[in-house]
């Protein structure tokens, strides 16, 4: 499974010359792909080392058949979401469909299953003599610094909407992507896949799905092969970083903060007059 990500990075780098556009925002600028991959590798390495001797706690399986059924439904929701790009309607429908398919439907289904059969997995939180949340913030903050500042920082878009529209759009994105996507992919999907398939398989499969779901909104104008490779090499690799932080530390809010920071740092800088 790891070979899929390596192959996507190599193919994208070879076909594009080394730069990708990781954002769907109009006027978004390209960033160096290998730099993004290096930042991910550095953040993963730091998370693996800090803190030392932190126990690895895979979610505890309660009922395999229940988990397999729940994962199947989650995968169906994930597969249906990019298809909504084919449905005629205003651009705002993208957000509406995301809320429906990645939050409301799975939340309702999983709550119904839990009432009928009890929890299918138990998520265990590792403990340490120092606060685990503090350790978790270090690799997350490092990844933000590496990707949002310095030579890897994306250039400002060629055009910005007015400040009010931008602030509203950023808030909606923070809620739907930062909170909603982390809830769906990490808390619900990855936890269950880890329980049935093992830690790294759960991380990689979830990250692959997370990347492919962006096909409906990213890579317009690219060939099918390059479009698939690009979303795996950019969004998918980012998913591996967030997924590993979730697997190692089990602090959901750290994953949300990282996702929000990666999506919104440039917006905040612009609103403050710094970009």
pLDDT tens digits in sequence order for the chain, 275 residues long: 899 999 999 999 998 888 887 766 666 677 888 889 999 999 999 999 999 999 999 999 998 999 999 999 999 999 999 888 788 888 778 889 999 999 999 999 999 999 999 999 999 999 988 999 999 999 999 999 999 887 777 766 777 788 888 888 888 888 999 999 999 999 999 999 999 999 999 999 999 999 999 887 776 667 788 899 999 999 999 999 999 999 999 999 999 999 999 988 888 877 777 55
Determine the pLDDT at residue 219.
64
Determine the pLDDT at residue 178.
94
Residue whose C-alpha is closest to residue 258's, from 20, 94, 15, 40: 40
Determine the pLDDT at residue 24.
66
Q: Return left, alpha or beta for 93; rule: phi > 0 is left, psi -120 to 50 is alpha, else beta.
A: alpha
Q: What is residue 143's three-state secondary structure?
A: helix
Residue whose C-alpha is closest to residue 196's, from 97, 121, 254, 261: 121
Determine the pLDDT at residue 111.
97
> CA-CA distances (angstroms) from residue 207 to 90, 114, 214, 232, 238?
28, 25, 11, 8, 8
Q: What is residue 121's three-state secondary structure?
A: strand
Contact indicator for 184, 74 with CB cutoff of 8 Å: yes
Determine the pLDDT at residue 273.
72
- The tokens for 39 are 């930042």
Quote the number of domains for the chain: 1
Determine the pLDDT at residue 21.
75
Residue 110 is part of which domain span? 2-271
Ranges of beta strands (E only) in 42-199 are 60-61, 121-122
Q: What is the pTM of this model?
A: 0.94
């Amino acid at each position: 499974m790891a070979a899929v990500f390596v192959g996507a990075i190599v193919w994208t780098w070879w076909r594009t010359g080394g730069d990708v556009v990781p954002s769907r925002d109009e006027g978004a600028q390209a960033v160096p792909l290998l730099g993004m991959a290096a930042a991910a590798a550095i953040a993963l390495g730091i998370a693996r080392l800090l803190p030392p001797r932190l126990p690895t706690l895979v979610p505890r399986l309660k009922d395999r058949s229940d988990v397999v059924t729940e994962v199947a439904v989650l995968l169906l929701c994930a597969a249906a979401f990019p298809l909504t790009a084919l449905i005629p309607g205003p651009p705002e429908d993208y957000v509406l469909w995301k809320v429906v398919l990645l939050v409301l439907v799975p939340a309702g289904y999983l709550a119904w299953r839990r009432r009928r059969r009890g929890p299918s997995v138990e998520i265990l939180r590792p403990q340490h003599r120092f606060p685990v949340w503090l350790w978790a913030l270090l690799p997350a903050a490092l990844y933000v610094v590496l990707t949002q500042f310095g030579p890897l920082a994306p250039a400002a878009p060629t055009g910005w909407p007015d400040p009010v529209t931008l602030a509203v759009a950023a808030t909606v994105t923070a809620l739907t992507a930062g909170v909603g996507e982390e809830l769906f992919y990490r808390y619900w999907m990855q936890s269950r896949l880890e329980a049935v398939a093992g830690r790294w398989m759960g991380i990689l499969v979830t990250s692959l799905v997370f990347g492919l779901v962006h096909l409906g909104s990213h890579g317009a104008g690219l060939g099918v092969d390059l479009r698939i490779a690009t979303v795996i090499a950019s969004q998918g690799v980012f998913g591996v970083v967030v997924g590993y932080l979730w697997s190692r530390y089990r602090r959901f809010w750290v994953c949300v903060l990282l996702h929000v920071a990666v999506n919104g740092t440039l917006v905040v800088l612009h609103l403050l007059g710094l970009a």
